[in-house]
Copies of this chain bind each other. A is one copy, B any other.
């Protein structure tokens, strides 16, 4: 029996949208148990407005870590916060995964401290699945480790390949190293050293890829440091939003274009959905010895639902064990 702990208090639309999303999944997955972590009264009040689900329980966490709080400090001083309590449920094997849309830094720190790292991994990475017209691309790290060594990037590549194989379902995933030119000699010092390590890694390493190659879906996995990856992720979200709102302006420009927009509306809606992060569940914290899904801070019920489904999938596919095994096989 799989059990998923959900941070009821994390994210811009907590607790309402978080609980709504959890209830959705609980009704679909009667074979999975759900634990909502938060102040019981708040959680119960929200649950009261939805259909009762036998497979949802509540775990008390009286404190909340706010979005802006400093991560390391907050998880130490708020040991009774929903983030720390949620991570602890996994450590104590009362849950198989923890899902939170709260303060990313605090979730990473809590998981790292509570779960510990997988043997052979020195730094964690956050992986996201980026939608592209060609294929879903696993991009990591998008923010767990801002300053990386070349060895970290090699570890990220191993983890990204397991993730692409298990979650996206790709056989022998191709790996690209994000750089600023295709030649081996291009890039900063970090990627030049990492390139050499990746060549000898035994992975299906195809060499450097550039910024455009992420959105063009050139490889199954793209590796970068957490600073670059986070800039990339937020830029992609921002730029897609800007272009769609500009298209909307074009549509509202005249009677003719409004009619045109009406005719295109279903297709454009579908396209927007296709490029929307909410469809893709949330980010996976890899390298820690347990499953931790970081949903977007702006998640509404649908995004939470997808994040929880990703957690279920990650648990049932045994991603964490597989990462450990792949590293042992490497040694």
* Interface set of A (CB-CB < 8 Å, partner B): 68, 70, 105, 132-133, 143, 146-147, 178-181, 183, 185, 187-189, 191, 210-216, 224-228, 230-243, 245-247, 250-251, 253-254, 256-257, 259-264, 267-268, 270-271, 274-275
Q: Which of B146, B236, B247 contacts A271 (CB 8 A)?
A: B247
Chain B residues, CB < 8 A from A179 = 227
Closest 3 CB pairs of A and B: A212-B238, A260-B263, A211-B235
> Are B232's CB and A231's CB within 8 A?
yes
- Give the distance in Å from the alpha carbon of A147 to the alpha carbon of B123 in the complex: 22
5 pairs, CB–CB < 8 Å, chain A vs chain B: A215-B239, A251-B267, A257-B263, A260-B260, A261-B264
> How near does chain B come to A82, taking the closest CB pair, in angstroms?
21
> Are A264's CB and B250's CB within 8 A?
yes
> How near does chain B come to A194, taking the closest CB pair, in angstroms?
12
- Give the distance in Å from the alpha carbon of A23 to the alpha carbon of B215 in the complex: 36
> Are A259's CB and B267's CB within 8 A?
no
> Are B256's CB and A268's CB within 8 A?
no
> How near does chain B come to A19, taking the closest CB pair, in angstroms?
27
> How near does chain B come to A145, taking the closest CB pair, in angstroms?
9
- Give the distance in Å from the alpha carbon of A192 to the alpha carbon of B134 in the complex: 37
Chain B residues, CB < 8 A from A250 = 264, 267-268, 270-271
**Nearest chain B residue, comparing its CB with the CB of A250:** B267
> Are B214's CB and A235's CB within 8 A?
yes
> Are A212's CB and B187's CB within 8 A?
no
> Are A242's CB and B263's CB within 8 A?
no
> How near does chain B come to A241, taking the closest CB pair, in angstroms?
8
Chain B residues, CB < 8 A from A228 = 227-228, 231
Q: Given A70-B185, A210-B231, list of 16 further CB < 8 A pairs? A: A133-B245, A133-B246, A147-B188, A180-B234, A211-B230, A211-B232, A211-B236, A214-B235, A215-B241, A232-B235, A243-B243, A250-B270, A251-B267, A260-B263, A260-B264, A263-B263
> Are B180's CB and A143's CB within 8 A?
yes
> Are B240's CB and A239's CB within 8 A?
yes
Q: Which of B183, B216, B224 contacts A238 (CB 8 A)?
A: B216
> How near does chain B come to A240, taking the closest CB pair, in angstroms?
7
Given contacts A185-B70, A250-B270, A250-B271, is CB(A235)–CB(B236) below 8 Å? yes
Chain B residues, CB < 8 A from A68 = 183
Chain B residues, CB < 8 A from A180 = 143, 146, 226-227, 230-231, 234
Q: Which of B70, B231, B237 contacts A178 (CB 8 A)?
A: B231
Chain B residues, CB < 8 A from A274 = 246
> Are B146's CB and A187's CB within 8 A?
yes
> How near does chain B come to A17, taking the closest CB pair, in angstroms?
21
**Nearest chain B residue, comparing its CB with the CB of A263:** B260
- Give the distance in Å from the alpha carbon of A254 to the alpha carbon of B254 in the complex: 22
- Give the distance in Å from the alpha carbon of A93 to the alpha carbon of B267 in the complex: 57
> How near does chain B come to A35, taking the closest CB pair, in angstroms?
29
Chain B residues, CB < 8 A from A133 = 242, 245-246
> Are A247's CB and B268's CB within 8 A?
yes
**Nearest chain B residue, comparing its CB with the CB of A224:** B231
